[in-house]
Amino acid sequence: MAADPAEFLRIEGITRRFGSVHAVDAVSLDVARGDTLCLLGPSGCGKSTLLRTIAGLEVPDAGRILIDGEDVTAMPPHERPVNMMFQSYALFPHMSVARNIAFGLERQRLPRATIRDRVDEMLALASLQAFADRKPHQLSGGQRQRVALARALARHPRVLLLDEPLGALDRQLRERTRIELSAILERVGVTCVIVTHDQEEALTLADTIAVMRAGRVAQVGTPDAIYDAPVDRETAELFGSLNLFCASVRDGQLHCPALGIVMDAEPEQQGDASLAIRPERLAVLREGEHRDHEITAIVERCDFLGANRLLLLRLDDQSGIRLLTDPRNRVEPGAEIRIGFDHDAIRVLPA
């Protein structure tokens, strides 16, 4: 029975307890065929446990996992049509690169020639042809990562699981590897679940991001939607720095004294709230330039970051504000400047 392609991988109310701790608490998610879901959250939020549950390495206390309509919850890991790339890569140290990649295929009792062809195909996919006979300890970190990926893809899994795929690499290698990884996943077109704590990785690799916190899903959405309309302050803060201001709702109006804003509140907003504005949505205004909202601020610091410049400003009520601007916009600390932002830059979040 083939399921709705939008529900190719179904995670239904999965709960996993360790003692009295709910590592994963009634999580439900759907991944469409060929899509990439990123589980994003701090360490200990339950994202890895959820991934291991899909792989069959953890048995859930409640809930079901369905792949293309088939319930695989009770299936042992070696029978699942799922392969995982481990954070440690878990390459078999006594086997060559080619033997590592062939391992999963040999378990399927495929004909020798088929295995050889598939291994060659995977070596080519991961640009590892020159390293087929090397042992894992003779490879660099980036090469090991590609072996792990090739090994996990070799069996043509219906769902590919990646646990912190770039976590073990140093910073310089990360971006290049991320682009390679993204290209490989796109070419293969496999349905993916990626676990990461790095928001940049999530934003670039995912079709859908599920933000996890304390075993629960805080928000699900496309990278744009989550970046642009986070449901709460913690989710908003996951993606870069954020300016937050206290606000309150009175008589259907939202008041934010720090920014001098009074605007119509949404009907469901009550009591205290937070106004959030991303630093890049603020602009330093020149003579004659205008925005929906404008205030004056004192420059405290002006830091050159290369691609842009970060201004730390202080408002009249002494609250601080961060502004990201063109690196050519140089201002002196102590100067008073006019800054502004458009109305659609404002996000109202629960306090």
Residues lying near other proteins in the complex (CB under 8 A) are found at: 55-57, 76-80, 82-84, 86, 88, 90-94, 103-104, 107-108, 135, 137, 151-152, 155
Token code pair at residue 281: 């949505």
Nearer to other proteins, 118 or 278 (CB): 118
Alpha-carbon gap, residue 75 to 63, rounded angstroms: 14
Q: Which run of H or E residues covers position 314?
A: strand 309-314
Minimum gap (Å) between residue 54 Cβ and other proteins: 11
Minimum gap (Å) between residue 311 Cβ and other proteins: 46
Minimum gap (Å) between residue 177 Cβ and other proteins: 20
Nearer to other proteins, 191 or 219 (CB): 191
Nearest to 88 by CA among 196, 142, 167: 167
Yes or no: say if 73 and 60 are a contact pair by the CB < 8 Å rule.
yes
**Which residues have CB under 8 Å from 151's CB, separation 6+?**
83, 85, 91, 100, 101, 103, 104, 122
Nearer to other proteins, 107 or 176 (CB): 107
Minimum gap (Å) between residue 171 Cβ and other proteins: 24
Minimum gap (Å) between residue 93 Cβ and other proteins: 4
Q: Measuring CA to CA, how many Å separate 315 from each of 27, 77, 217, 259, 340?
A: 42, 57, 36, 8, 12
Nearer to other proteins, 168 or 331 (CB): 168
Minimum gap (Å) between residue 299 Cβ and other proteins: 51
- Position 156, amino acid: H
Nearer to other proteins, 87 or 204 (CB): 87
Nearer to other proteins, 45 or 102 (CB): 102
The tally of CA atoms less than 13 A away on the side-chain side of residue 79 is: 7
Nearer to other proteins, 81 or 240 (CB): 81
The tally of CA atoms less than 13 A away on the side-chain side of residue 331 is: 27
How do the residues of the chain divide into helix, strand and coil, expressed in percent and rounded to 5? 30, 35, 35
**Which residues have CB under 8 Å from 206's CB, separation 6+?**
36, 37, 38, 40, 194, 223
Minimum gap (Å) between residue 269 Cβ and other proteins: 47
Nearer to other proteins, 161 or 242 (CB): 161
Neighbours of 94 (CB within 10 A): 9
Minimum gap (Å) between residue 326 Cβ and other proteins: 46
Three-class SS of residue 342?
coil
